[in-house]
Amino acid sequence: MPDPGPLRAAAHDAARRGWHVFPLRPDYNRPYDPDHAKKPAFPDHGEDRCARTDPRCHNGHTGWEPRATTDPGRIGRAWAHTPYGVGIACGPAGLLVVDLDTPKVNFTMPAEWAADGVRDGADVLALLCERAGQPFPATYTVATGNGGLHLYFLHPAGPVLRNTRGETGNGLGPLIDTRAHGGYVVAAGTTVNGRAYRVMCDSDLVTLPDWLAALLRPTVRAARPTARPVLALPADRRGRYLAAAINDTVARLGQAVQPGRNNACFMAAQTLGQLAASGAITEQQVVDALTPTALAIGLSERETARAIRSGLAFGARRPRRLA
């Protein structure tokens, strides 16, 4: 069995920073499960299977988050004999961690992001920074075993932030997850599938920037009208053809549901962007035609503007000329 000493030291180091830690499954004798060593070692059951036999569950199920600790004695006992990995409970630690991932096999970057040359989570965040006119945040950073990055931030003041995933809900974008209340991360010094998590930038933590916090806060969006804007088009045969093409494109966008809404908006903008590239309509007419419906199906103003801009850029490469 591997020596638990280095992992015990990693757990103590995290605890000295005020981060609540708990054991993850050891990274050896693992079944074929790529995430085996990322899972909590205790408890070994979920709330739905709790038989109250675990001493910590006698008065009700106790999961990994309330078990996390900074107590040196408890940490010493937990890592005395077994080389458990080290998990950090973000909520009790007052952390929000931005997880910049690398693409898995068969992953395809959504077209509205790929249009800007984006390849991985770090690129997505860099593009968000560029669009917001903000620098790429510098804070305590851990390189993950698969080549990604964990950016550690202090949780900002205001409403409690919870985990987000990729583009869904209030997620920041593809290949970016966040871990906050209710979430945990693998600490530096732990190995997963034989690959170590290591400190890449051992700087002081900074508070999550306000502009990123705003993107992660749940939004309450008022209902928006689904009526399509009236575009000034000629009443001749050409105008009727354009009106039909626009109405058909907008109608298809209106049927889009999550998780395909962003891509549907991008594809709609690309279709109409081909007409704009030939001079049949203007890019502003495309924006006016698509924006109300994109907002009505649940996209934010930021997501809508980004998808339309990227779609117009793609459509411009293949102008569609009317007979």
- Report the pLDDT value the prediction gives residue 225, as an integer from 0 to 100: 44
Measured in degrees and rounded to the nearest 5, phi and psi for residue 285 equal -65, -35
Bigger pLDDT: 315 vs 259 = 315
Q: Mean of the per-residue pLDDT values for the chain? A: 87
Provide the percentage of residues in the chain whose pLDDT is more than 70: 92
Planar angle of CA 231, 236, 242, nearest 5 degrees = 45
151 has pLDDT over 70: yes
200 has pLDDT over 50: yes
Q: Tokens in use for 273?
A: 């962007």
- Report residue 27 CA to chain centroid gap: 26
CB 83 within 8 A of CB 94: no
Bigger pLDDT: 232 vs 162 = 162
Secondary structure of the chain as H, E, C letters: CCCCHHHHHHHHHHHHCCCCEEEECCCCCCCCCCCHHHCECCCCCCHHHCCCCCHHHCCCCCCHHHHCECCHHHHHHHCCCCCCEEEEEHHHHCEEEEEECCCCCCCCCCHHHHCCCCCCHHHHHHHHHHHHCCCCCCCCEEECCCCCEEEEEECCCCCCCECEECCCCCCCECCEEEECECCEEECCCCEECCEECEEEECCCCEECCHHHHHHHCCCCCCCCCCCCCCCCCCCCHHHHHHHHHHHHHHHHHHCCCCCCHHHHHHHHHHHHHHHHHCCCCCHHHHHHHHHHHHHHCCCCHHHHHHHHHHHHHHHCCCCCCCC
Q: Give me the residue label for tokens 């411009």.
A: 316
CB 322 within 8 A of CB 239: no
User: Residues of 200-212 as b/e, b for ≥16 C-beta within 10 angstroms?
Assistant: eeeeebeebbeeb
Residue ranges covered by each domain of the chain: 5-216, 237-315
Bigger pLDDT: 202 vs 319 = 202
- How far is the C-alpha of 119 from the C-alpha of 100, rounded, in Å? 11
CB 4 within 8 A of CB 79: yes
Q: Tokens in use for 311?
A: 């779609």
Bridge partners (DSSP) of residue 178 are 98, 164
Bigger pLDDT: 186 vs 36 = 186
End-to-end C-alpha distance for the chain, whole angstroms: 75
Does pTM surpass 0.75? no
Q: Is 257 exposed, middle or buried (0-12, 13-18, 19+ CB in 10 A)?
A: exposed
- How far is the C-alpha of 283 from the C-alpha of 277, rounded, in Å? 8
Distances (CA, A) of 277 to 230, 258, 292, 317, 320: 21, 29, 22, 8, 7
The average pLDDT across 159-188 equals 90
User: Tell me: the pLDDT tens digits for 71-119?
Assistant: 999 999 999 999 999 999 999 999 999 999 999 888 988 887 887 788 9
